[in-house]
């Protein structure tokens, strides 16, 4: 990810997927360590399946065995059986499996679900082994049976699976909506001049946004801290409730709409407000399934579909009886999902795509949920032992910032990878070689850099983790 952020290109694809840390038999490198799950004939086991991959949605299946889905994202659902489940990064699914097949060994396997057009991905399959304790020795010398996994682009199977997820019984879904929000989710690009930092397609860097705002994380103060302590200049609260411009989101989007703007904008919610959000995929660069995750809340998924959301046509089909409760929802490729929740958890809460490259490109926004009445409806004060920045580092931060400001107006660019000078888990100082056409004046201004008149200089960057 760090390399991708430097170059502006897509991250390298992985070499392998793993189940409980092991790639499995199909990679030919770790078969003696392949993860094994032993089961007694006739018993029913619970598998908690978590997609812990960084950048890939995955199918999961067990050869010859049905999976009974009983929970997703830590909420129960109406049990249903299926031969395959799909999880986006960060999603969890609990399934029951009954060992009702002839005693032997069966592969459980995961393979990619990939929806972005022309994007490289790791098209391999990871396996673990479901092993019956009573399996005869002869079964151990032969290869376990492999499950039939869907093709990498099998969206129909994904939709058939997610359509079956429902709450166990009738639930209380907010109906009188106070905040009717519509957020586009998708990729973008930023034009740049050829350089080591401009390695995206056709002189661009990849970006991503919600409602055309590419989220810029605060560098020095957390959003919650800035809110709690009234620190100005860290964020603004003008995140747009609807796209700044309407367009045919899933059609052929004009190039003029591909460049997002980079801001730290929050959307304010009153305590207790009833919120509906339409999450609308865009076709910018490519349509793609995005697993959108909201912190601080579970929400009801009342509807999903393909194309552009149309309230007249689609709202009447919402499931307001037993919609599933989730915290990460797949916005279908070239489609939309609608979620509802009550904003009764005050604080600052990130909503973001759980594909890590999309998140770091800016596919995120934050809600600022205000306090209600009394202590039980207000955020708690920070713990007494909240770590504070050491004084010398605060000063150093200011020094580095003034140097960075001095360089701002320059056409300065990096020549090499930053080198870490010192740091801890939280803070690291990097130095790197930089160039600039107007370097002399800047060097004089920045003072401490020296070497006026040279074409190359050392620039500094302080990073917070
Ligand atoms: Cu995404």
| Dist. CA 406 → ligand 1 center (Å) | 35
Q: Is the pLDDT of residue 170 over 70?
A: yes
* Rounded alpha-carbon distances, angstroms, from residue 227 to 89, 219, 239: 29, 15, 16
Cα of 362 vs centre of ligand 1, distance in Å, is: 10
Ligand 1 centre distance from Cα of residue 290 (Å): 4
User: What is the pLDDT, as a whole number, of residue 220?
Assistant: 77
Residue 452 pLDDT class (50, 70, 90 cuts): very low
How far, in Å, from the CA of 307 to the mean position of ligand 1?
A: 17
134-139: which pairs have CB atoms within 8 A and are 24 or more residues apart? 134/40, 134/41, 134/103, 135/103, 135/104, 135/105, 136/103, 136/104, 139/103, 139/104, 139/105
Interval 388-437: pLDDT, tens: 765 555 556 566 666 666 555 544 555 556 666 666 666 666 666 665 54
Alpha carbon of 207 to ligand 1 centroid (Å): 11
* CA of 363 relative to ligand 1 center, distance in Å: 7
Ligand 1 centre to CA of 353 (Å) is 5
CATH architecture of 16-163: Sandwich (2.60)
* 179-377 to CATH, choices 2.60.40.420, 3.60.110.10, 3.30.70.980, 1.10.3720.10: 2.60.40.420
Domain boundaries, the chain: 16-163, 179-377, 391-464
Rounded to whole angstroms, the Cα distance separating 10 from 8 reads: 7
pLDDT on residue 207 = 96
pLDDT value at 326 more than 60 = yes
- The per-residue pLDDT of the chain, averaged, comes to 88
Q: Residue 322 contacts by C-beta under 8 Å, 6 or more apart in sequence?
A: 78, 166, 167, 168, 169, 170, 171
Summarised one tens digit per residue, pLDDT across range 10-40 is 999 999 999 999 999 999 887 788 999 999 9
Residue 447 has pLDDT above 60, yes or no: no
pLDDT value, residue 32: 82
345-349, 356-360, 452-456, 458-462: segment of lowest average pLDDT:
452-456
Between the CA of 332 and the centroid of ligand 1 the distance, in Å, is: 11
CA of 357 to the centre of ligand 1 (A): 8
Distance (angstroms) between ligand 1 centre and the Cα of 439 equals 39
From the CA of 355, how far away is ligand 1's center (Å)?
5
* Distance from Cα 185 to the centre of ligand 1, integer Å: 7
d(CA 204, CA 181): 30
Does residue 130 contact residue 107 with C-beta atoms inside 8 Å? yes
Q: Which helix (H) or strand (E) holds 111?
A: strand 105-113
16-163 and 179-377: identical CATH topology: yes
Give the mean pLDDT of 96-101.
Answer: 97
């Amino acid at each position: 990810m760090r390399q991708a952020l430097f170059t502006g290109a897509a991250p390298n694809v992985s070499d392998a997927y793993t189940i409980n840390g092991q790639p499995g038999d199909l990679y030919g490198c770790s078969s003696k360590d392949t993860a094994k799950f032993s089961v007694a004939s006739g018993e029913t086991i619970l598998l908690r399946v978590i997609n812990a991959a960084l950048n890939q949605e995955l199918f999961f299946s067990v050869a010859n065995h049905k999976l009974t889905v009983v929970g997703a994202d830590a909420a129960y659902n109406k049990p249903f059986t299926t031969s395959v489940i799909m999880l986006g990064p960060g999603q969890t699914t609990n399934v029951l499996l009954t060992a009702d097949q002839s005693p032997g060994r069966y592969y459980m396997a995961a393979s990619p679900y990939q929806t972005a057009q022309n994007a490289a991905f790791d098209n391999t399959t990871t396996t673990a082994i479901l092993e019956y304790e009573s399996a005869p020795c002869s079964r151990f010398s032969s290869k376990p049976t492999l499950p039939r996994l869907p093709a990498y682009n099998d969206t129909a199977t994904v939709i058939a699976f997610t359509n079956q997820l429902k709450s166990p019984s009738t639930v209380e879904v907010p109906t009188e909506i106070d905040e009717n929000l519509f957020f586009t989710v998708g990729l973008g690009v930023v034009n740049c001049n050829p350089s080591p930092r401009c390695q995206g397609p056709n002189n661009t860097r990849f970006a991503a946004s919600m409602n055309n705002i590419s989220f810029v994380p605060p560098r020095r103060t957390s959003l919650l801290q800035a809110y709690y302590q009234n620190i100005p200049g860290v964020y603004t609260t003008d995140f747009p409730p609807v796209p700044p411009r309407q367009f045919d989101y899933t059609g052929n989007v004009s190039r003029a709409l591909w460049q997002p703007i980079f801001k730290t904008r929050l959307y304010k919610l009153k305590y207790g407000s009833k919120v509906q959000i339409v999450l609308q995929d865009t076709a910018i660069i490519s349509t793609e399934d995005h697993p959108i995750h909201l912190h601080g809340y579970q929400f009801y998924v009342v509807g999903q579909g393909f194309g552009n959301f149309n309230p007249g046509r689609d709202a009447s089909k919402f499931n307001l009886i037993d919609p599933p409760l989730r915290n990460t929802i797949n916005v279908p490729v070239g489609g939309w999902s609608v979620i509802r929740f009550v904003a009764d958890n005050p604080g600052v809460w990130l909503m973001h795509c759980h594909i890590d490259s999309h998140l770091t490109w800016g596919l995120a926004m934050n809600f600022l949920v205000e306090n209600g009445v009394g202590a039980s409806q207000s955020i708690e004060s920070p713990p007494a032992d909240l770590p504070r920045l050491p004084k010398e580092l605060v000063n150093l931060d200011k020094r580095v910032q003034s140097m960075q400001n001095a360089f701002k107006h320059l056409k300065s660019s990096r020549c090499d990878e930053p080198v870490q000078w010192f740091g801890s888990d939280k803070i690291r100082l990097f130095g790197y070689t930089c160039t600039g056409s107007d370097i002399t004046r800047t060097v004089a201004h920045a003072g401490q850099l020296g070497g006026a008149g040279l074409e190359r200089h050392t620039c500094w960057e302080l990073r917070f983790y």
